Chain A
Amino acid sequence: MRELTGRLAGLDPDAGAALQVIAYFDRLVDARAGLESVVRGAAVLSASPAWLHAPSRHLDLRVTPDGMRHDHPGVPAPDWCHVDIDEAGTLWLERPGPAGPVEAMILERAALAARAVTARTRPRRPSRRELLEVLLDAGAPEADRRYAARGLGLSPDVRARVTATPGGRLDILQQDSEPEPSERVGVGPPARPLKLAATVEAAQAAARFTAAGTASDPGPRVVYAENLGVLLVLTKPGLMQQSLPDVDALERASIAAPWMLATLDALARNASHRAAATALNIHHSTLQERVTQAERHLGWALHDVDGQMRLATALMARRIRQAT
């Protein structure tokens, strides 16, 4: 019985072998066979090992004429007859000398079939979101991240920044660009494309320092991680879960008056009370009244730098805790 299939391999060039080869690979493609089946067809029909070698795609597929998969650690010999499948891969037949007419036909039709299989199975051009996902995944192979960077239009020696919303959505900013005015994001430090994945954590930490920028949630909508310095450690997991009396006091203060949070935020972020009053667009004396009230709720003085720093830190801690 073996002879029957052996005869399939010993195709006579003069006896319509070309048609057989064409029909064989066409049917494989029609039946939605995979790449290994195509390589197997080449091996069985040519009675020599067939090797699909596509290193940039991490694809190495070798089948011997008995149909068994026997991958090889080395590389194909350059003098074997071969055909380029596409820019990424080549199909080799392991036999010495140039391809005869039957081998040439087998290689040609196998290549067509392999391209058809790849086109069918390769996903459509990846979306920006898919490319971003790969670029910013520290666990993704470098080759994949390089491919993603190219797809996103990032040049390898130009720096960019990761942006992260509090909700977890990541994006990238080209060098020297700024986030859109409406965005609320943490921005990571500048880095070259292949290093961007390592900056994601910083961008996400910075996002936790952002606020809606409204009266009820005053604070910056955009925070640059590199401006936070040591403050970044406040986002260490679990840190904000402990008892923080200042934050509790801040919560109590915040519900005491509608102007409270916005006023406290201005006090924290401006060098002087006068500047804060200007930022709030209120009279300096109005501000002083508010300060007095606030101090009562908070339990500490707001007229010096220590008090201001304590307030600023408490506001940041409150924001981080809310974002958890």
Chain B
Amino acid sequence: MTQTVEGSEQAGGQLPPVGPLPPYDPEFDAGLAAMQAQGFLPPPLTSAEQIPVLRAWMTQAFAVTDDELARNGAYTLEERQVPGPAGAPEITLLIVRPAAADTATPVIYHTHGGGMVVGGRRDGVPGMLDLAEPSGAAVVSVEYRLAPEHPHPAPVEDCYAGLKWTAEHAGELGLDADRIVIAGASAGGGLAAATALLARDEGGPALLGQMLICPMLDDRNDTASARQSYDKGTWSGLGNHVGWTALLGERKGSADLSPVASASRATDLSGLPPALLDVGSAEVFRSETVAYAERIWQAGGVAELHVWPGGFHGYDMFVPQSPVSQGTVRARRDWLGRLLSS
């Protein structure tokens, strides 16, 4: 059964033609092929039925021990059950703090990735610790409810509730409430952007910055790069369709969808904290990431955008040794360093 390409003529849309997906960096190409051959890549998400398979894969692929998180005692780990949104269950925060800190530390408030349908609070934390380490920052990672069991607004409201609690209790945790940077990759990037919008509109908490890593911003999923990646890569346009549908159901693609559900829908991008956006040139989220940065600038805001050549979705995690991956991490560190010393 062929899938209808969103926005295509079959679907009733009129979209300009696009060329093929830009080529992968040679080392990414070889690395991906090697990992595919050994079965290390995520199973493709072709339908909602595949979500449990992807969840199982995520659990074993991202498994990390407490010792690994603590990095030989450099960090202390703590979990807190904190109030969720009104009328919703409590949420769990994983708090990872530098053991040797004697003053209030900056905080990376982390929203994990996983297409809105998979993943947990421990996933992606090692990467965040790599970024936090040079500036002695702590990492707080939120366990938000997942779609399809918990559709929008559950995930973003959980993220926001966790952020509010972190800011309010920063003092007792040894964290600096004036230096909270929200960060997330993929769906986590989309949730970070949406939480930043919520924080602005609700009058707080104040965020020092937002780090949006290959963010999942646009439920319409009809951009050029989404079409170019329809059936390719570690997170394809089709997988994206499944994720957004799980989150929004019938509301997906609707004209009046709230920006908090899909940050690309926001018409007002003014008054947001400085943003770092990065994305690969050969992945599904390229177009919407570039567009979001441009619209921040159009609103007079502060943003830094990096589009890395030949990068597929999640390249820096899968092939960290490549110079493109190293440059990506360096750029994130540099941005964070500048932000925290400003």
Contact = CB atoms under 8 A, between A and B. Distances in A.
B318 A44 contact: no
A27 B33 contact: yes
B62 interface: yes
Interface in A63-85: 65-69
A1 B38 contact: no
Interface stretch (B23-31, B72-80, B257-265): B23-31
A1 B35 contact: no
**B23, B127, B323, B326, most chain A CB atoms within 10 A:** B323
Interface size class of B (residues with CB under 8 A): 20 to 34
A23 B61 contact: no
Contact of A27 (B29, B126, B127, B320): B29
Interface string B7-40: 0000000000000000111110111011101101
A324 to B, nearest CB: 50
Nearest to A37: B27
A30 B321 CA distance: 20
Nearest to B32: A27
B194 interface: no
B33 A23 contact: yes
A4 interface: yes
Contacts of B34: 8, 20, 23-24
Contacts of A31: 23-26, 29-30
Overall SS of chain B's interface: helix
A70 to B, nearest CB: 12
A42 to B, nearest CB: 12
B317 interface: yes
Interface size class of A (residues with CB under 8 A): 20 to 34
A7 interface: yes
B267 to A, nearest CB: 36
Nearest to A20: B34
A32 interface: yes
B46 interface: no
Contact of B326 (A3, A20, A23, A68): A68
A33 interface: yes
A52 B40 CA distance: 30
Contact of A67 (B30, B37, B63, B326): B326
B26 A32 contact: yes
A1 B31 CA distance: 14
B137 interface: no
Contact of B320 (A20, A34, A67): A67
B317 A24 contact: no
Given A37-B27, A67-B326, A4 B33 contact: no
Contacts of B63: 3
A208 interface: no
A182 interface: no
A224 interface: no
A8 B35 contact: yes
A173 B37 CA distance: 61
Given A8-B35, A8-B38, A28 B30 contact: yes
Contacts of B29: 27-28, 30-31
A27 B326 CA distance: 21
A1 B26 contact: no
Interface in A13-30: 19-20, 23-25, 27-28, 30
Given A23-B37, A40-B321, A4 B61 contact: yes
Contacts of B127: 1
Contacts of B37: 19-20, 23
A2 interface: yes
Contacts of A23: 30, 33-34, 37
A5 interface: yes
Nearest to B127: A1
B319 interface: yes
Given A20-B38, A31-B23, A5 B320 contact: yes
Contact of B30 (A1, A3, A25, A34): A25
A118 to B, nearest CB: 16
A44 B321 contact: yes
Interface of A: 1-5, 7-8, 19-20, 23-25, 27-28, 30-34, 36-37, 40-41, 43-44, 65-69
30 contacts: A1-B126, A1-B317, A1-B318, A2-B320, A5-B31, A5-B318, A7-B40, A8-B35, A20-B34, A24-B30, A24-B33, A25-B30, A27-B29, A27-B33, A28-B26, A28-B30, A31-B24, A31-B25, A31-B29, A33-B30, A37-B27, A41-B30, A43-B321, A65-B321, A66-B320, A67-B320, A67-B322, A67-B326, A68-B321, A68-B326
The 9 tightest CB contacts between A and B, nearest first, are A67-B321, A33-B26, A31-B26, A27-B30, A31-B29, A28-B30, A1-B317, A4-B40, A24-B30
